[in-house]
Structure 1
Amino acid sequence: MTAATPATLFADPAPAQRLERAATALMAHGFTVEILDDAAAARTRIKDLIPDSAVVFTAASETLRLSGIDEDINTSGRYQALKPRILAMDRVTGADDIRRLLASPDVVVGSVAALTETGSLVVASATGSQLPAYAGGAARAIWIIGAQKVVPDLSTALRRVEDHALPLESARAQVAYGRPSAINRLLVLNAEPHPGRGTVLLLREAIGF
């Protein structure tokens, strides 16, 4: 029997019973969870979850890009989208303003590198720009998570981050920014102490890294 490689172990969608276990654990930890068929369903659902005119930060995410959610939020005109605003600011003279804007939006939308069946969200970041909002700075947080990111436990989640997500993100970053990525900051969300703040849209299909 051939041993599973990271490419197969961490890329295939988890079966329904594992998604249900993860969803049940998340809800027990204070998160709101919806299991949806695919990214198209999440793209539709998220329009109901974000109020018009809300200040919204879309974290860098292949899931958001591939699903069209990033474009919807940042170009629709329905929201006060932070990404276009920040891209127009000077990164040196406006650094403090950028940091404050990213830390406390009304809503942050993104994804994670892994979700454990015990109900923990694992986020890896090279810059940490999304972490303050994820951890509690945003009034609301919404994560769209593909089924391939569901793993049994935290140790497997960390292996997924290092062996699977990082190489893919490094390849993307090399093309986009001329340098590889790195796991400079790691955030583990074990529970949501403010019920209603954190929403997970868990997909039955694989999408993103």
Structure 2
Amino acid sequence: MTTSIPASPFADPASAQRLERAATALTAHGFTVEILDDAAAARARVKDLIPEGASVFTGASETLRLSGIDEDINAGGRYQAVKPRALTMDRATQMDEIRRLLASPDVVVGSVAAVTETGSLVAASGSGSQLPSYSGGAARAIWIVGAQKVVPDLDTALRRVEDHCLPLESARTREAYGWPSAVNRLLILNAEHQPGRGTVLLLREAIGF
């Protein structure tokens, strides 16, 4: 049975002005930022940004699933998709190889739980599998972020993780796996020191958690 989740103020898309403030702050902190209309535009842009044949890891993300980006990367045949390969490997005997594959792809594609108007990205995870590549292990990182994830500051971002994202993700994991999720690991990216490494595609529409 699916758990009913009450309406949340964190589900409302940010205004154009707030998107621009977040984009300006992120750019000042070394991220490359593009504001796009919707998930379809992001899906097309991701194909432009990732060269054919690159090794690509997709972090678990409702945004990627709903947009079709996850399927494009992992089932499209254009890239060396890391996730399908890792799923075929033996966790008893090949865990070290799996860990290295996930931590250091050419490109990691995912989303985050919140983007602040002060220029930070906040990613929450139960397993932490995507966080090494997010934080620097991948040569390039691309995050697709719905407009509802823009918040004023880090305090609000952390409230969004606990009060909005976690209940939704727990409802999903209960239905899919039979157990709740948890915020076991939290990554805050305040700046990107390597020019061109981190790209944030901010959408004008809400998508994902």
Shorter-chain TM-score: what band? over 0.9
Question: What secondary structure sits across from 1:10 in the alignment?
Answer: helix
Question: What secondary structure sits across from 2:7 in the alignment?
Answer: helix
Query: Amino acid of the residue matched to residue 147 of structure 2?
Result: A
Equivalent residue number for residue 37 of structure 2: 37
RMSD: 1.1
Once residues 85 and 75 of structure 1 are traced to their aligned partners in structure 2, the CA distance between those partners, rounded to angstroms, is 11
* Cα pair 1:7 1:164 within 8 Å, conserved: no
Q: How many residue pairs end up in the alignment?
A: 205
* Cα pair 1:173 1:181 within 8 Å, conserved: yes
Equivalent residue number for residue 105 of structure 2: 105
Q: Deviations over 1:50-94 (max 9, x none)?
A: 001000000000000000000001111110001110111122222
- Between the two proteins, what is the percent identity of the paired residues? 82
Question: What secondary structure sits across from 2:127 in the alignment?
Answer: coil
Q: What TM-score results when the alignment is normalised by the length of structure 2?
A: 0.96
Query: Amino acid of the residue matched to residue 134 of structure 2?
Result: Y
* Cα pair 1:120 1:189 within 8 Å, conserved: yes
Q: Is 2:170 aligned against 1:170?
A: yes
Equivalent residue number for residue 9 of structure 1: 9
* Cα pair 2:59 2:130 within 8 Å, conserved: yes
Query: Amino acid of the residue matched to residue 29 of structure 1?
Result: H
Once residues 206 and 136 of structure 1 are traced to their aligned partners in structure 2, the CA distance between those partners, rounded to angstroms, is 27
Q: What TM-score results when the alignment is normalised by the length of structure 1?
A: 0.96
Q: Which runs of 5+ in 2 are unaligned?
A: none
Equivalent residue number for residue 205 of structure 1: 205
Query: Amino acid of the residue matched to residue 194 of structure 1?
Result: Q
Equivalent residue number for residue 19 of structure 1: 19
* Cα pair 1:146 1:203 within 8 Å, conserved: yes
Q: Which runs of 5+ in 1 are unaligned?
A: none
How far did 1:9 drift?
1.1
How far did 1:8 drift?
3.3
* Cα pair 2:8 2:164 within 8 Å, conserved: no
